[in-house]
Homo-oligomer: A and B are copies of this chain.
């Protein structure tokens, strides 16, 4: 047994403690004591009240606790130390026995690809997905346990982040923890889109057109230290080649790139607000910009309090606008707003739209057979999980039979119904029921609804099931008793999924 055993390396690390800690959290307060969960719970209750919700209603009673726990878990990186992870996981590996070359613990590139992580956007507090690729070139015969590359990356992902800073912090922490010849980090990041909705300032949905709801805002960022410091270094070629083997194409490496802050879709809302394009904004801009609205002001203060409770500095320049942006986003799901729309614009309003829309569709109608199964597929929807205050989104498929004398239902009406029920605090099961009931009550007849969704709470929190997706079925009338009808519709949905590569 040589001198280079685990204990020996621990000793080395101990001497570097200060360096690791300084670099791993350059501008953050690292709190060791536990997070004040009850303060966060109280702040979440204020948010629920601001949304016009009864925080004692069924389904919401435990939401403040769930949100507080999840936020605490999702920002656990503030309370973790890289030293605790790397310590004891550095192994001595000899380099080559003579001869010119690079391998083992000296100069041979080591890469771990496709680490799935989640982080939280410091601009808007929504989670974003990260695929992390790490490469390093060992030096001094030290290699690190492969899983530690993932664990260290996760320490920095579990904070409020910006993609470029996340890459920089992972890179610095690994460089200081392993002391290799260099570290390279490539992150591919996906941020959910914030759909742009046309509302008017009296709080009614003019036309809830949603731009690319299924899409994601994407960015790739790189960071490098040591031999990876030069963007044109040979070692980046090697790293890129190994990534390409897994289908990851990084054409350009910009290590000293400009800030990636502009990537968050909430930033573009800032710009719109400044330019005064209120008609492409959500209705709450009116409320939010009004200083006379005490509810909104206290919601913004509550989000600031949450940031503070999590160990962040709400006055850090990147966080100054965050509470406002988060509340702006959250107010899309204001229940009183939805109710108002349903009252002034609801079933009666629906009928008016139906008449108006259907005049445009009379030509199509002329070609329709009666008592025919009609499938209207892939209506995008967007909703907010009432258990976790996180979005879930996806597609709604609607099937129905023409009753004798009935005209086909216009897609725009169906899309409106989907949005009406989506834009509030929801659960997917209830959303499915409300859509099937509304379609059936307005238009009568036999209706079937399939809702397919990705729940951000399923993929970003606790269980972190990145690939998972949910589906719910609701049926009325003939679809409930006639299994052939149901199968016919599901067959159509399946085939559409095949065609779209789903």
Partner-B contacts on A (CB < 8 A): 1-2, 4-7, 54, 56-59, 61-62, 88, 91-97, 99-105, 107-116, 138, 143, 145-147, 150-151, 154, 234, 237-238, 241-242, 244-247, 387, 427-430, 432-433, 436-437, 440, 449-450, 452, 455, 457-458, 461-463, 465-477, 479-481, 483, 486-487, 490-491, 493-494, 497, 502
Contacts and interface: CB of A to CB of B under 8 A. Distances in A.
A473 B147 contact: no
A292 B463 CA distance: 48
18 contacts: A59-B92, A93-B427, A93-B429, A96-B436, A101-B436, A103-B429, A103-B433, A104-B429, A113-B470, A114-B468, A114-B469, A138-B429, A146-B428, A242-B450, A242-B490, A244-B494, A245-B494, A245-B502
A221 to B, nearest CB: 19
Contact of A115 (B2, B246, B465): B465
Contacts of A452: 245
Contacts of A387: 91, 145
Give the one of A101, A237, A242 with max B CB within 10 A.
Answer: A101
A58 B234 contact: no
Contacts of A138: 429
A56 B7 CA distance: 12
A362 B59 CA distance: 76
Give the one of A115, A241, A469, A502 with max B CB within 10 A.
Answer: A241
Contact of A432 (B103, B472, B483): B103
A54 B1 contact: yes
Given A147-B457, A472-B111, A477-B101, A58 B433 contact: no
B429 A475 contact: no
Contacts of A143: 427, 429
Given A6-B58, A114-B469, A116-B465, A490 B237 contact: yes
A95 B474 CA distance: 10
Contact of A477 (B99, B107, B458, B490): B99
A473 to B, nearest CB: 4
A296 B20 CA distance: 45
A485 to B, nearest CB: 11
Given A6-B61, A432-B104, A493-B245, A111 B477 contact: no
A108 B429 contact: yes
A102 B477 CA distance: 9
Nearest to A111: B471
A1 B57 contact: yes
Contacts of A115: 465, 468
B494 A108 contact: no
Given A54-B1, A58-B92, A61-B6, A468 B102 contact: no
Contact of A475 (B1, B103, B457): B103
Given A146-B428, A151-B463, A493-B245, A481 B93 contact: no
Given A1-B57, A147-B463, 15 more contacts: A2-B58, A4-B58, A93-B433, A96-B437, A99-B437, A99-B440, A101-B475, A101-B477, A101-B479, A108-B473, A114-B468, A234-B483, A237-B483, A237-B486, A238-B473
A157 B100 CA distance: 48
A472 B429 contact: no
Given A455-B146, A468-B114, A94 B247 contact: no
A1 B59 CA distance: 10
B147 A109 contact: no
Contacts of A465: 114-116, 147, 150
Contact of A491 (B97, B107, B241, B463): B241
Contacts of A97: 437
Contacts of A471: 109-111, 113, 242, 245
B455 A242 contact: no
A428 B297 CA distance: 56
B4 A102 contact: no
Contacts of A4: 58
Nearest to A105: B429
A170 to B, nearest CB: 15
Contacts of A104: 429-430, 432-433, 474
Contacts of A238: 473, 486, 490
Q: Which 9 A-B pairs have the closest CB atoms?
A: A103-B474, A104-B433, A101-B476, A241-B490, A103-B433, A245-B497, A109-B473, A234-B483, A242-B471
A112 B1 contact: no
A499 to B, nearest CB: 12
Contact of A427 (B7, B91, B473, B479): B91
A51 to B, nearest CB: 17
